[in-house]
């Protein structure tokens, strides 16, 4: 039996006794495969992404990457040690700026900081 590259197995997550995610499972068979989490607002898509990134600790189940457990009831690899990134969908742009001004803001920051990797 071959192992999947990435697995979320029977994950539960709650906050203040309120269940946010219950018994979530999915896998990515090969490195580089692309998946999509779909569902209505409030269903827990962002919450499960936050648990994968390590920003939230799970109550049950496990999250494994390349046969290494990142999260379980007893194990929690810190976010900075997971080699996983999360790009938030909100607050990415300044709504009172035009598209051009938002882009120029980054260009100006690059010049100010003297880096091309911003």
Identify the pLDDT of residue 86. Answer: 83
43-82 pLDDT, tens digit each: 999 999 999 999 999 999 999 999 999 999 999 999 999 9
Tell whether the model's pLDDT for residue 106 goes beyond 80: no
Q: Measured between alpha carbons, how far is residue 42 from residues 9, 18, 39, 115 in Å?
A: 21, 13, 8, 38
The more confidently predicted of residues 109 and 3 is: 3
- To the question of pTM greater than 0.85 for the whole model, the response is no
pLDDT over 60 (residue 97): yes
Structural domains in the chain, CATH included, are 6-85 (3.40.50.300), 88-118 (no CATH)
Q: What is the mean pLDDT of the chain?
A: 88
Helix (H) or strand (E) segment spanning residue 62: strand 60-65
Name which residue leads in pLDDT, 109 or 57. Answer: 57
Distances (CA, A) of 99 to 3, 91, 103: 44, 14, 6
Please provide residue 35's backbone torsions phi and psi, each rounded to the nearest 5 degrees: -130, 170
User: Would you place residue 5 in the very low, low, confident or very high pLDDT band (cuts 50, 70, 90)?
Assistant: very high
The predicted-structure confidence for 80-93, as pLDDT tens digits, reads as follows 999 898 877 666 67
In this prediction, residue 114 carries a pLDDT of 67
C-alpha to C-alpha distance for 118 and 9, rounded to whole angstroms: 35
């Amino acid at each position: 039996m071959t192992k999947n590259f990435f697995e979320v197995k029977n994950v539960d997550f709650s906050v203040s006794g309120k269940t946010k995610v219950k018994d979530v499972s999915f896998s990515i068979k090969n490195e580089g495969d692309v998946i999509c989490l779909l569902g209505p607002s409030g269903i827990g898509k962002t919450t499960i992404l936050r648990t994968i990134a390590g920003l939230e600790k799970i109550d049950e189940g496990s999250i494994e990457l390349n046969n290494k457990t990142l999260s379980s009831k007893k194990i929690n690899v810190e976010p900075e040690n997971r080699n996983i990134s999360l790009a938030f969908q909100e607050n990415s742009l300044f709504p009172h700026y035009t598209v051009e001004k938002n882009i120029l803001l980054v260009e100006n920051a690059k010049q100010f900081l003297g880096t091309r990797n911003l």
